[in-house]
Every structure is written in structure tokens, then in C-alpha cells.
Structure 1
Amino acid sequence: MIKIALIVGSTRPQRFADVPARWIAQGAAARPDLRMETLDLRDYALPFYQEPASPLASNGVYTHPAAETWRSKIGEFDGYIATVAEYNHGPTAVMKNALDSAFYEWNRKPIAFVGYGGAGGVRAIEQLRGVAIELQMAPVKAEVNIAMEPFVGMLTQGKTPDDYEHLVKARETMFDQLVWWGNALKAARERLAQAA
């Protein structure tokens, strides 16, 4: 079994992120092959990145205590799912900052994305995929994209993600891919640690 962190990537007061986060957590609870913990960025007072040196130069240690707490927490997991709001065709600043506030803890682990907004968060997710690769992560292909029609349906018509069959299928495919990559990379990390 792998341990996954669900990162809630928005901190706005009336954010939509809670809807997909609850739904992803419900889906994860039904799976015997993973265990999920939700990490809400509201609960981590991360400063915007202001380290005097790159984590490569500091051996991954951050000077700010909140960043140290965050990177320690991130290191507990075998993979990640992030909810992704799209602001002006990009991810939220707090989500990007959360990725910047750890380094080695992300390495050689998979990440999946659940986007929402007019285009389902695809433009923001595309930017985060590049960031994830630079952090030596493995972004899985499958993602959940809550585009305009279901987004509005959930906001104004009392619908839930379960009312949209394509979203339910996308969630399961995303879980399947995350578990496969999570297990493969966990085994590879363990072999590397034993050889060291």
C-alpha cells in the first residue's frame, strides 16, 4: 500500500477546491491499494520562497521553520495529488510556492492533478507538470478536469462530481496510474537506499 498526500492548492476564503478535495478523498477511501492524507495549504503558513541559496546548495535544508515543517511532512508520502485552480491561465501562487518549499522530498515520486475552471484547469496543470519534472517527479498522464459545465453545475445547481460519469471514470484512471507509478517508484527508491 502506498501513502498519498492530497494537496489542496488554493487558500481563497470561498474556494471551490473543497468540493473536488472531498470527492477525491472519498474515492481514495474506497481503495485498498492506497492511504490518503489531506494537506490543506491553509494549515501551512509557508512564506513565499525567500531562501538565501538553492536547496541544491543547502542539501535540501530550508532556513524558514514553516518550510522545514512542510518539507518534513511532504517527505512522508509515496505520491501526491494536487487540486489545481486556474488563475489567469496558470496555477495559484500558493501551489507553486508549496512545490518550491521542498526539494529532495518530491524526488522520484508520482504526482497527479485535479483541475477545475473554465477549461478544467488544463493550462495551470500543464505549467505544474514542467515544475514537477524539474523536481524529479513523475507526473501521471491521467488527470481530472472539471470544466465549465460541471463546474457551474456544482456551483449553482447542487450537483456533485458523482453526477458526471466522465469525472468518475477519470478519477479511477488517475488513481490506477498513481498507484502503479507509486509502487514502481517506491520499490526503486528502496533498492537505491539498500545499495547506498
Structure 2
Amino acid sequence: MTKIGIILGSTRPGRRGQAVAEWVAKVGAEQVPGAVFEVLDLADFNLPILDEPQPPAFGKYSKEHTQKWAEAIDGFDGFVFVTPEYNRSVPGVLKNALDFVYNEWNNKAAGFVGYGLQGGARAIEHLRLILSELKVATVRSQVGLSLFGDFTITNPTEPGEFTPGAHQAQTLTTMLEETVSWAQALKPLREGA
């Protein structure tokens, strides 16, 4: 079975990402055979600002929290990043988590589900650049969720109800299928590493 980690890229109280990540996992389980999907919530790892004395590429992790994160990332064949867009980029907590480890990301595939005023498009573009440096192959298809079209928001200080448009499930399924296919295609590289 191909294992895909769904990385919930925000830890902010009242975040919308939890409902989105659960939707990704549900659609994946229902529509994409041959793969298992598991949500990795950055809030569960409680990573501080990068505090390892050696560069991550050396793989000499001295902190228990880093070792726990490295083990989690190493256990997956690919990833789906669920990210909001903060100030035209990714949340700091997500960038920090990406920077903590290196080899554990290599030769894996990734897809994206962004959300925000512009569907998280700029956050996704930044993630593509970051992940290329970590040797992660990113698929072309992506899901962009609009705060106005895919969420019912009655109070701007609350996350509102996640109500994705009908077309979003098909876009998500396509992206998940591509991510799983690429993760499977990259398996010989991971095994040879």
C-alpha cells in the first residue's frame, strides 16, 4: 500500500484546515484504491523554531521532537499539503516543519490543497519551490478552495462550515491519483537511497 501523509499546515486556533484535511482523507479513502491516507497535524508535533545544531541534510538529529518528526515523515511515500495562505505565502509553522528534516522528504511526491481569498495559490507556489529543494516531486493538479465559495462564513472570527463545491471533489480525486502514481513511480529511488 502506498502511504500518503496529509500535512495540516496550520496550528492557528479556529483554523479551517482541520475540516479540509479530514475531507481529503475521506475522499482519498473512498476514491483512490491502493493507498492509505493519514492526517499529520503539525499541532501534534509541537516543533519549536528550528533548534538543531547541525544542518538537517546531515541527518544527525539531536532533539527528541526532531527524531519524532523525522520518523513520521520517513514513514510516508508521498504527501498532500493542506495549507492556508498567510501574507502571500505559507504559514511559518509549515515552513519551519519542512526545514527540520531533509533526507526523509527526498524522492517522494506531493500534491496540494490550498485555501484562502485566492484559493491558497501563492502559498502553493511557494511550497513548490521549497519542496523542489527537498527533492520532492510535485504534481500539477491542485485544489484551490475559496473562503467565499467553499466555506459558509457567518462570523469572520470563526472558521465557518466547510462546504466544498461539487467540482472540488473531482479535482481532489485527480490530484490524489497523480500523487499516488508519482509516489509509486519514485519508489525505486527511495529504495536505492
Q: Give the TM-score of the pair, scaled to structure 1.
A: 0.89
- Give the aligned residue type for 1:154: T
Say whether the 8 Å CA contact 1:144–1:171 is kept in structure 2.
yes
For 2:68 and 2:161, the matched residues in 1 are separated by 37
Does the alignment pair 1:98 with 2:101? no
> Secondary structure of the equivalent of 1:103?
coil
Give the aligned partner of residue 160 of structure 1: 163
* Alpha-carbon shift at residue 133 of structure 1 (Å): 0.3
Q: Which residue of 2 aligns with 1:6?
A: 6
1:35 counterpart residue number? 36
Structure 1, unaligned stretches of length 5 or more?
Answer: none
Question: What is the aligned partner in structure 1 of residue 56 from structure 2?
Answer: 55
1:174 aligns with 2:175: yes
Task: State the shift of 1:98 in Å.
Answer: 1.0
**In structure 2, what residue type is equivalent to 1:100?**
D
Looking at structure 1, the residues matched to 161 and 54 of structure 2 have their Cα atoms a distance apart, in angstroms, of: 48
Give the drift of 1:35: 0.4
- Greater displacement, 140-149 / 121-130: 140-149
Query: Where in structure 2 are the equivalents of 1:62-101 lying within 5 Å?
Result: 62-101=61-100
Asked if the contact 1:106/1:136 (under 8 Å) is kept, the reply is: yes
Gaps of 5+ in 2: 155-159
Q: Take 1:141 and 1:6, find their aligned partners in 2: how far apart are those partners? A: 17
| Alpha-carbon distance in structure 1 between the residues aligned to 2:190 and 2:161 | 44
What does residue 134 of structure 1 align with?
133
Extract structure 1 runs of 4+ deviating beyond 4 A. none
3-state SS, counterpart of residue 114 of structure 1: strand
| In 2, Cα distance between equivalents of 1:32 and 1:40 | 23
Partner SS for 1:47: coil
CA deviation vs aligned residue, 1:150-195 (integer Å, no higher than 9, x gap): 24x433485622xx132112101101110110110013333x25xx
In the alignment, what sits opposite 1:112? Answer: 111
1:72-102 deviation per Cα after TM superposition (whole angstroms, max 9, x unaligned): 1110000001111111111001111111111
The Cα RMSD (Å) is: 1.5
Q: What CA distance in whole angstroms lies between the structure 1 residues aligned with 2:99 and 2:190?
A: 22
> Structure 1, residues 9-62: CA drift from partner, whole Å, max 9, x if none?
111110000121111011111132210111111110111112222123xx2122
Deviations 1:88-117 (A, max 9, x none): 111001111111111100000001111000
How far apart are residue 64 of structure 1 and its match?
1.9
Task: Specify the alignment match of 2:15 in structure 1.
Answer: 15
Q: What letter matches 1:160 in structure 2?
A: T
Q: TM-score, normalised by structure 2?
A: 0.91
Residue identity over aligned pairs, in percent, reads: 41
Distance 1:131 1:158, change over 3 A: closer
How many pairs are equivalent? 187
